[in-house]
Chains A and B, each alone.
Chain A
């Protein structure tokens, strides 16, 4: 009988060059020229052109109709997708990608970014801008941004990445600074202190009282004053006082001509008098009045 034939070795995949890719993918190649990935700097980092990211294309060129040979990055596991980008984008904002929340939740770079068809002016995002990219998953945050008390995100004057680094950071919740407070101080420096008289929950976390993405109450408060204050203060006399509907500002006068309204239950409630809740520098203001 005939001797068994040795199986033919698969030819090693080889680079074909970006010009070959462009013969079929002219639109993608043209579009790429206007982006950083179409510049000389990219060529010096990745001399294989398109194949720097997509890998050797010889097999695909020889059998272009075979979907198994399409060098599509979006079909790879998320970790592998990100590894492609991380070959170059491993520093600066992407420094803490490994171990980040988004990485550990199986997202990859192309969950948010697009190399060939992005919509944003900066950052090559799939969405029109940063905030839209974030709220495409964070639906609860999108709703909060529409609350009456909010940061100027929906007005376009700041965006999610002013406070968060979606690529990961050394701080929980991907906060850019080393802590929530240090992040808030970058815009609210006047609250940094340190003050002569401190309000310790304020020093520990602004989030003890505020909710940064939106609130139905003034000043992004988690609950409205005075009840927010009364969640911690049961001090004698007025701080422990019941401030119910009978003490509202529109209450009629009593028989002695005095109104039932309490100046702790209208306008800014407790902070009508305790204006310096973030800390006071006045020698006579240990209770943060002014």
Chain B
């Protein structure tokens, strides 16, 4: 076994949560590694206990025990932190799970001020009004801890029949930023309370015969959200208002809205999956395939239309209709159920030493079996009554892929394969009912010498559709058919006609036993030429190069570099209350992002007792948003920006260890990281922004130094 105890001294210049996004590097001791290996006297049964980073938030404990080829048991406990932001300012006080409140007297004071100053309800006034409360607000760190425990048992090992049982329980707890909103000008960011439990259990079996095999199993998954809703106070209202323009508050147009917001958080759900796989050899042919059937359901209790008691409605007969009572809903629970089913089969054979042929077919069917439920109206953002009926839509789709691939060996060193795939998609309730995509692929795998290999692939795809109904989705959501609310020339890229070409070439060359080189280039060019609005093109070009040098056990070195250049182009047209027909209202956007990534690593042993390790990684993204709008329309001008998420990360690490005895060593490590982000989304961000109250938790720049002292014992 082995044990490594480490003391970390961590110095970070900011409170950015990014530094410990998925890890725990706080100052203090940790058991960086513990490994205990044991064998029975006959060396047949093996136990392996592994601990990493105990007892920290990113610890992992794994115990496995078994007899190779016969049975095995694995227990695993994996802790995964996910930190989103530190030191956010929370205007609210958490008074219960899923409840954030502001004292009534503060709400009353703010409502009064807003009412008295209605003509001045612009950012400067509101900013000044909220400033003292934000200054005194509590701080909050946003993050989730995911703790996953699993147990797996395998019986049968390599025998003809084998069985497996696996159970996983996971709890996620903490908070993450959530977009609560009272309307177009009062978006309120709150911490979403997270307390999720998930259980998954799978029983599987396998039979292996001389010419084939079967695998089958059942998996049950249950997700439970222990906090069903989150409810938060509206800072600007102490009592409810039914002002029809409340969605525009607080502005000179309205000071209405609800006194509280409420969101229905992720509902509990369940899924039941059956699977069956088979494989066989039929003469010269190999055949395999599989089928899955996955039923998913959720039936959470529904919230009422609103909790805003200021909204008073009448039935057709003139009697009061209370939208705050769940009994007035057409259904009290969600009653949702869907199935996902897949069928796949492939078969292939070789013809002599030169030719091979493969056929593949795959069907995937998603069917929403939920009833269509009509809601005669809705309350927008808890504020404004919208007298338009909406009906739930059981979207469905089916994909089918049929492929034929012919391969040929060219000598002993080269294999080429040409394939054709017909990809068919059928959808219900969406803009495109049916599409076909022809995909041609040519692949080359070449090994000119024992030390050199080349892999290359070119692919071309061409998708055609049977027509595009831009209003289908909205029409299916609305009763009766609504006014046109989207531009008819918009084409959604996931369904639109397109062509694409992609190319990938990668070569690796072991120049000597010690020196290796590799180089690659890849690219993909997607074109949506038939789309007038929406995504028009998306191009990606990448290069990579690497050199490594390992002259022996005492030294290894690698250096790699990678560049990715991605450019996309999209077009839109600004419309008001009806679709604009004026091309001068168009605007376009070229997004260009170049990402460079470099890595370096050196491992060296020297003077018998010393080992050292050095590594460096640098990643830099540089993005640019290039807008254009023709003159004469609305918009008339367009202004570019150059921080389409510019990010630098430099990480340096070094470690030296000295072997004190044959069983013990001690060492020092040093890690230096610098993270710098300039994002257009973060520009000028503070707790009160025009039309939004934000937590503004710190997830930005940091420079960190971590000094580690470690002692390792082998036993």
Residues of A within 8 A of B (CB): 33, 36, 39-42, 44-45, 77, 88, 90-92, 95-96, 98-99, 104-106, 121, 137, 139-140, 142-144, 146-148, 152, 155-158, 170-172, 178-179, 181-182, 185-186, 189-198, 200-201, 203-205, 208, 216-218, 223-225, 227, 230-238, 240-242, 244-246, 248-251, 253, 256-259, 261-263, 265-269, 271-276, 280-286, 289-290
A244 to B572, CA, bound (A): 13
Q: Are B208 and A91 in contact (CB under 8 A)?
A: yes
A95 to B306, CA, bound (A): 52
Task: From A121, A144, A208, A240, give the contact of B50 (CB < 8 A).
Answer: A121
Q: Are A192 and B69 in contact (CB under 8 A)?
A: no
A139 to B560, CA, bound (A): 9
Q: Are B68 and A267 in contact (CB under 8 A)?
A: no
In the complex, chain A residues whose CB is within 8 Å of the CB of B181? 272-273, 275, 289-290
A39 to B157, CA, bound (A): 13
A249 to B261, CA, bound (A): 25
In the complex, which of the residues B68, B593, B617, B641 has the most CB atoms of chain A within 10 Å of its own CB atom?
A: B68
List which B318-373 residues lie within 8 A (CB) of chain A. Answer: 329, 334, 336-338, 340, 342, 344, 346, 348, 358, 360, 362, 364, 366, 368, 370, 373
Given contacts A143-B595, A170-B362, A244-B639, contact A196 B392 (CB under 8 A): yes
A268 to B696, CA, bound (A): 11
Task: From A146, A230, A258, give the contact of B122 (CB < 8 A).
Answer: A258
Task: From B80, B263, B473, give the contact of A157 (CB < 8 A).
Answer: B80
Q: Are B560 and A142 in contact (CB under 8 A)?
A: yes
A76 to B201, CA, bound (A): 41
Task: From B223, B344, B689, give the contact of A267 (CB < 8 A).
Answer: B689
Given A98-B348, A282-B264, 19 new contacts (CB under 8 A): A39-B67, A91-B213, A106-B447, A140-B562, A143-B595, A147-B647, A189-B198, A200-B429, A216-B595, A225-B681, A234-B486, A234-B533, A234-B534, A237-B575, A245-B625, A259-B123, A268-B177, A268-B189, A281-B267
Q: Are B645 and A224 in contact (CB under 8 A)?
A: yes
Q: Are B342 and A267 in contact (CB under 8 A)?
A: no
* CB of B607 within 8 Å of the partner chain: no
Scan B172-202; emit 1 where CB is below 8 A from any A CB, else 0: 0000011111001101010000001010100
A198 to B125, CA, bound (A): 39
Among B109-117, B376-384, B660-668, the one that faces the other chain is B376-384
A142–chain B nearest beta-carbon distance, Å: 7
Q: Are B564 and A143 in contact (CB under 8 A)?
A: yes
Q: Are B689 and A263 in contact (CB under 8 A)?
A: yes
Q: Are A155 and B576 in contact (CB under 8 A)?
A: no
* CB of B162 within 8 Å of the partner chain: yes
Task: From A95, A261, A283, give the contact of B689 (CB < 8 A).
Answer: A261
* CB of B294 within 8 Å of the partner chain: yes
A185 to B340, CA, bound (A): 13
List 15 A-B pairs, Cβ < 8 Å.
Answer: A90-B213, A148-B647, A156-B52, A190-B196, A192-B271, A198-B393, A230-B570, A232-B493, A236-B485, A257-B122, A257-B124, A258-B123, A263-B690, A267-B681, A275-B178
Q: Are B492 and A42 in contact (CB under 8 A)?
A: no
Closest to B289 in A: A170
Is chain B's interface secondary structure helix, strand, loop, or mixed overall? Answer: strand
Q: Are A195 and B267 in contact (CB under 8 A)?
A: yes
Closest to A41 in B: B69
A271 to B180, CA, bound (A): 9
In the complex, chain B residues whose CB is within 8 Å of the CB of A272? 179, 181, 187, 189, 692
A238 to B247, CA, bound (A): 14
Given contacts A41-B67, A189-B198, A284-B379, contact A204 B570 (CB under 8 A): no
Closest to A152 in B: B22
B491–chain A nearest beta-carbon distance, Å: 9
Given contacts A40-B44, A234-B534, contact A265 B215 (CB under 8 A): no
Q: Are B562 and A205 in contact (CB under 8 A)?
A: no
A10–chain B nearest beta-carbon distance, Å: 22
Task: From A44, A225, A240, A273, give the contact of B574 (CB < 8 A).
Answer: A240
Given contacts A139-B546, A189-B221, A192-B269, contact A240 B575 (CB under 8 A): yes
List which B241-299 residues lie within 8 A (CB) of chain A. Answer: 261-264, 266-267, 269, 271, 275, 277, 279, 286, 288-290, 292, 294, 296-298
In the complex, chain A residues whose CB is within 8 Å of the CB of B124? 253, 257
Closest to B536 in A: A231
Task: From B221, B290, B522, B637, give the contact of A170 (CB < 8 A).
Answer: B290
Q: Are A286 and B390 in contact (CB under 8 A)?
A: yes
A223 to B592, CA, bound (A): 10
In the complex, chain B residues whose CB is within 8 Å of the CB of A230? 570, 572, 589
* CB of B234 within 8 Å of the partner chain: no
Q: Are A155 and B23 in contact (CB under 8 A)?
A: yes
Closest to A208 in B: B494
9 interchain residue pairs of minimum CB distance = A41-B69, A250-B684, A190-B266, A275-B179, A152-B22, A36-B68, A263-B691, A290-B263, A143-B562
Given contacts A142-B560, A236-B486, A244-B638, contact A216 B455 (CB under 8 A): no
In the complex, chain A residues whose CB is within 8 Å of the CB of B337? 194
Given contacts A91-B208, A234-B533, contact A178 B342 (CB under 8 A): yes
Q: Are B302 and A241 in contact (CB under 8 A)?
A: no
A186 to B344, CA, bound (A): 21
Q: Are B123 and A283 in contact (CB under 8 A)?
A: no
A289 to B58, CA, bound (A): 34
* CB of B239 within 8 Å of the partner chain: no
Q: Are A146 and B617 in contact (CB under 8 A)?
A: yes
Task: From B407, B587, B644, give the contact of A104 (CB < 8 A).
Answer: B407
A254–chain B nearest beta-carbon distance, Å: 9
Task: From B289, B392, B589, give the contact of A197 (CB < 8 A).
Answer: B392
A182 to B364, CA, bound (A): 12
Given contacts A208-B494, A227-B589, A234-B533, contact A242 B189 (CB under 8 A): no
In the complex, chain B residues whose CB is within 8 Å of the CB of A99? 286, 288, 346, 348, 358, 360
Q: Are B305 and A268 in contact (CB under 8 A)?
A: no
Q: Are A286 and B378 in contact (CB under 8 A)?
A: yes
A136 to B122, CA, bound (A): 56
B552–chain A nearest beta-carbon distance, Å: 14
Closest to B22 in A: A152
In the complex, chain A residues whose CB is within 8 Å of the CB of B690? 258-259, 261-263
A31–chain B nearest beta-carbon distance, Å: 14
List which B498-516 residues lie within 8 A (CB) of chain A. Answer: 506
In the complex, chain A residues whose CB is within 8 Å of the CB of B366? 203-204
Q: Are A242 and B223 in contact (CB under 8 A)?
A: no
List which B193-226 residues lie within 8 A (CB) of chain A. Answer: 196, 198, 200, 206, 208, 213, 215, 221, 223, 225
Q: Are B263 and A282 in contact (CB under 8 A)?
A: yes
A178 to B292, CA, bound (A): 7
B192–chain A nearest beta-carbon distance, Å: 8
Given contacts A95-B288, A99-B360, contact A203 B395 (CB under 8 A): yes
In the complex, chain B residues whose CB is within 8 Å of the CB of A261? 684, 689-690
In the complex, chain B residues whose CB is within 8 Å of the CB of A232? 490, 492-494, 534-535
Closest to B350 in A: A79
A191 to B710, CA, bound (A): 42
Q: Are B368 and A194 in contact (CB under 8 A)?
A: yes
Task: From A158, A200, A234, A251, give the contact of B395 (CB < 8 A).
Answer: A200
Task: From A186, A194, A271, A280, give the contact of B297 (CB < 8 A).
Answer: A194
In the complex, chain B residues whose CB is within 8 Å of the CB of A88? 158
Given contacts A203-B395, A268-B179, A290-B261, contact A242 B627 (CB under 8 A): yes
Given contacts A139-B544, A258-B690, contact A235 B486 (CB under 8 A): yes
Q: Are A216 and B684 in contact (CB under 8 A)?
A: no
In the complex, chain A residues whose CB is within 8 Å of the CB of B340? 178-179, 181-182
A273 to B382, CA, bound (A): 12
Closest to A195 in B: B336
B422–chain A nearest beta-carbon distance, Å: 14
A62–chain B nearest beta-carbon distance, Å: 26
In the complex, chain A residues whose CB is within 8 Å of the CB of B180? 275, 290
In the complex, chain A residues whose CB is within 8 Å of the CB of B639? 244-246
